[in-house]
Chain A
Amino acid sequence: MTTLSHKPASARPIPNPERSLITRLNMGSGTVVGILFAVITYYLLRHHFGSPWRVNHGMDMTNTHFVNVTILCTMFAWSFGFLVGIGALIGPFRWLIGKDLTAEEQLYLAGDGQGIKRYFKYCTDHKVVGIQYLVGVMAMLGVGGTMAMMIRTNLATPGSHFIAPIIYNSLVGLHGITMIIAMIIVSTGPFGNYIMPIMIGAADMAFPRLNALSWWVLFTAIPVLCSAWFLGGIPTGWTAYAPLSDQAGPGMNAFLATIIIFAVSTAVAGMNITTTVVAMRAKGMKWNRVPIFVVGATISVALAIPAFPTFMVAMIQTGLDRTISTGFYDANVGGSGWLYANLFWIMGHPEVYVILIPGVAALMEIAPVFVRKPLFSYGAAIAGFAGIAGLSVLVWAHHMYMSGWMPSLNGPFMITTEFISVPTGLLFLVLVGTLWRGKPWMKMPMLSVYAFIWDFLIGGITGIYLSDVPADNYLHGSMFVTAHFHYTLMGAALTGAIGALAFWFPKMTGRMLNDRASYISFWLIQIGFNVLFLGMFMAGAAGQPRRVADYAQAFAHANLISTIGAYSVGLGMIVLLWAIIHSWRSGIIAPMNPWGSKTLEWTVPYPVPLVNFDEPPVVTSDPYNYGRSAK
């Protein structure tokens, strides 16, 4: 690794391309143009197709169909208008007339020296995009978590009626989709954008404008998803099974528009991250010297590239069913709900690994630094990720064992599913191998490694029962499933992301994350989490279906345990949020490399210069050459 000299960023003159439209565009202009587009579209279509405030949206499906045209077009018009208004399309427009942005304009878009304003603009600097994702994800987790608290409050006692069933069902669905979206981006968004390019010694992402686009496209989905509440909610859960989704009221449009917009965002981000890693690594960073987080994040987004389009297609078909009655999923006219279920799970199972892999990879990046040992068997780690990614596209119908779609395929799908144990086992081997004979420096990132091992072990073992066809006869659709996937998505992937935040916080904010507050939050979250889902395993094993607003007296104890655990998690999250805000504003100033790590991002100062490195770094070894008698 090379030593770097650098000039302070502020020495650069602030570019100010005179009279260029670009200087006047930001989130505000985006919002104004977005609303304008939406309002115009709404008024143009209202007379033709009706408005949601004019028809009676009861169970009569034909009545609501044309209204859905108005609603969907209004939503997409908002999204498109926002992108026009924030200036996302100026570049493509210039290409149409045979020009491009001037060098000055491009520098202006990178936002250098523009202070806090650049976070509210179409900014191409990957570090700005990383912070935008970080704040966005925290907001989503906050909203999704609040919904979880309301769900658990309603379920604290049987027959509580704290929340009416119609609102409860919407809460379940919107909690689900908010958390799924947040968890898909929770590691690759903030750390994949901010840290990863520096980690591989690049000046920026391969396509900086697409990078900004991926964030702002995702941003436009947030108001769309929120609008579900004002359109009657969604009754389907986040799985949006048909034909219930065909039957659902206008709120369902918000869901499907969100997914379509989100799928565009992930496709753009996925291509960008993959290209960056393939094409922009520093000199000397051969494939066997790439930090494991970079490998994990790349495999994760590469897996998302084929997965999300099927969700998008599933949702486009739902939209067509709901607007022009195509009947893809309507058995009455020759369609099939199984078509939806297949499309959904072809996305749905890879998606859980899209979420999981970057979290695990971040912890694999962390463990060697704090144990002061090489990552145990880099090859096994890559085999584990690649094996999981490869198998994950062949297991989707294990979600459909009990659907009746193809009972004869249950055996084959059970075999592929069970074999995921093998690459998953390798991930455990890499982590415990790294811990073996180590004396880990017990800081917040390292604590997350331990929490991950416990949580993912429980998630993994319960997954083995669920992959078994006979046992799934009992467990499918029960609270047991809910507890299982929370162990993997929250206990494993979110724990990984929190560890990653604690680890990279000094590089992203220039300050150390407060130790005491993060330890308190860690134990509140982890103990609460295990109590919460222990209760839910009990309820599920006792026979409580998932997604129920109410339950029988027999499940009372289990649910009360669950709710108590949930409050502890909630409290822990508030403490963590406080720790983040407090440390970001007035934490201890971080040294350049507080953990003594050997990856490239710790060789640059804070604030990280616009092009990261003054001189392109040269890599001469893998980043894990810790240890006595290292060979």
Chain B
Amino acid sequence: MAHHDDQDLLPTPGQRVGTFLKRKDVSQTFVLGIFFTAVFVVLGLWVYPHWMPNVMSKEMQGNEDIMIWFTVISAPIAGVVLAIAMESFINMHRGDTPPPEDGPGIKTHGPVVVIWSAVSVLFTIVAIVWGITEMNTWSSDALAGSNNALVVDVTGSQWNWSFNYPAQGITSHELNLPINQPVEFRVISADVNHSFWPVQLGVKVDANRLSTTIARTTPDKLGVFDVKCAELCGLNHAYMETSGHVESVADFNSWVSQAKATGGTQQ
């Protein structure tokens, strides 16, 4: 190991870097780093599309992409950390007495601290810019769709959801939505806090007493989605769920007229 310390005596930075890269522990750490980075990239790309449910709106796609790509861009940082940790782990000293010899007396290393901090600032800025861009996309989509949005008044109460369609004049415990039409959920609670979560639509907002909160999305796939409560609301919180349907416009319209025919309330 002693020759490692000699690098400090080498004349030019170029030579010092050259010697550094030729060291066995450095090359091993490098290989480990590539390996761990690859593991995290593969995990990011594979895990979330497999774990997360059907994507039924642009917002849901946005959420899934953030989870995938934040993992991928974190991968090199995780790779470096795990590689250095693993390299030292492999070199462990075992036994009942302390190692006979101390390691190198490195107290700090200015350039490393600066580079590390700069990289984490850069990483943070990328994450922030990504998040803000996504938020802007959501709000400009919502603004663009606000003219022809279907309004649904959602009321959470212990322990069920009810949906009122003011323009259509119907109230229902079923949530049916026409495909590709922007929808605006106006959410309120009849009692304690709930959180309205149409899972596969990728949006969520709390239901508060006497204050209306708003969530907007545009369902773009036909099918069934889950509606859940995401805020602990007492005894039957776990059972405060129902299913919703994204339907063709024709199906939606016929459901509306059927509901109206039965007196405007559909259970």
Contacts and interface: CB of A to CB of B under 8 A. Distances in A.
Interface of A: 165-166, 169, 172, 235-237, 239, 241, 243-244, 247, 331-332, 336-338, 371-374, 376-380, 402-404, 410-411, 414-415, 418-419, 421-422, 425-426, 428-429, 431-433, 435-442, 450, 453-454, 457, 461, 464-465, 467-471, 473-478, 537-538, 541-543, 545-552, 554, 595-596, 624-631
B205 A402 contact: yes
Contact of B51 (A440, A450, A538): A538
B88 A371 contact: yes
A628 B84 contact: no
B237 to A, nearest CB: 6
A439 B120 contact: no
Contact of B104 (A404, A426, A627): A627
B138 A421 contact: no
A454 B229 CA distance: 32
Given A244-B192, A432-B84, A442-B92, A372 B70 contact: no
B51 to A, nearest CB: 4
A435 B84 contact: yes
Given A476-B230, A477-B231, A631-B107, A464 B74 contact: yes
A412 to B, nearest CB: 10
Interface residues of B, number: 95
Nearest to B213: A404
B200 to A, nearest CB: 8
Contacts of A439: 88, 91-93, 99, 103
Contact of A470 (B4, B63, B123): B63
Given A166-B235, A373-B104, A473-B202, 12 more contacts: A371-B103, A372-B99, A429-B112, A436-B88, A441-B99, A453-B85, A470-B134, A471-B63, A476-B204, A545-B229, A626-B105, A627-B102
Contacts of B236: 165
Interface in B118-167: 119-121, 123-124, 127-128, 130-132, 134-135, 138
Nearest to A415: B128
Contacts of B206: 402-404
B48 interface: yes
Contact of B105 (A403, A552, A628): A628
A232 B140 CA distance: 48
A388 to B, nearest CB: 13
B242 to A, nearest CB: 12
A391 B94 CA distance: 40
Contacts, number: 293
A509 to B, nearest CB: 18
B237 A169 contact: yes
A464 B127 contact: yes
Contact of B101 (A372, A380, A419): A372
Contacts of A404: 187, 205-206, 208, 211, 213-214
B142 to A, nearest CB: 11
A545 B230 contact: yes
Contacts of A461: 70-71, 74, 78
Contact of A543 (B47, B53, B74, B94): B53
Given A374-B107, A454-B82, A627-B103, A435 B88 contact: yes
B238 A165 contact: yes
A86 B170 CA distance: 66
12 contacts: A165-B236, A371-B88, A373-B102, A377-B107, A402-B205, A437-B103, A441-B93, A441-B98, A454-B82, A457-B78, A476-B195, A543-B226
What 6 pairs between A and B have smallest CB-CB spacing? A627-B105, A477-B230, A404-B213, A630-B105, A548-B238, A425-B120
A403 B138 CA distance: 17
Given A332-B209, A403-B208, A464-B70, A244 B233 contact: yes
A415 B235 CA distance: 36
Nearest to A236: B232
A245 to B, nearest CB: 9
Contacts of A435: 84-85, 87-88
Nearest to B230: A477
B203 A473 contact: yes
Contacts of B60: 474
Contacts of B195: 402, 476-477
Query: Interface centre among B91, B108, B117, B232, by most A CB within 10 Å?
Result: B232
A474 B204 contact: yes
Contacts of A550: 238-239
B232 A543 contact: no
A543 B105 contact: no
A411 B116 contact: no
B237 A241 contact: no
A64 to B, nearest CB: 15
Contacts of A372: 98-99, 101-103
Contacts of B88: 371, 435-440
Interface in B35-49: 47-48
Nearest to A168: B238
Query: Interface centre among B130, B187, B211, B226, by most A CB within 10 Å?
Result: B211
B234 interface: yes
A153 B113 CA distance: 46
Given A244-B193, A418-B124, A626 B103 contact: yes
Given A442-B94, A470-B59, A477-B197, A542 B53 contact: yes
B116 A425 contact: yes
A418 B128 contact: yes
Contacts of B59: 470, 473
B217 to A, nearest CB: 9
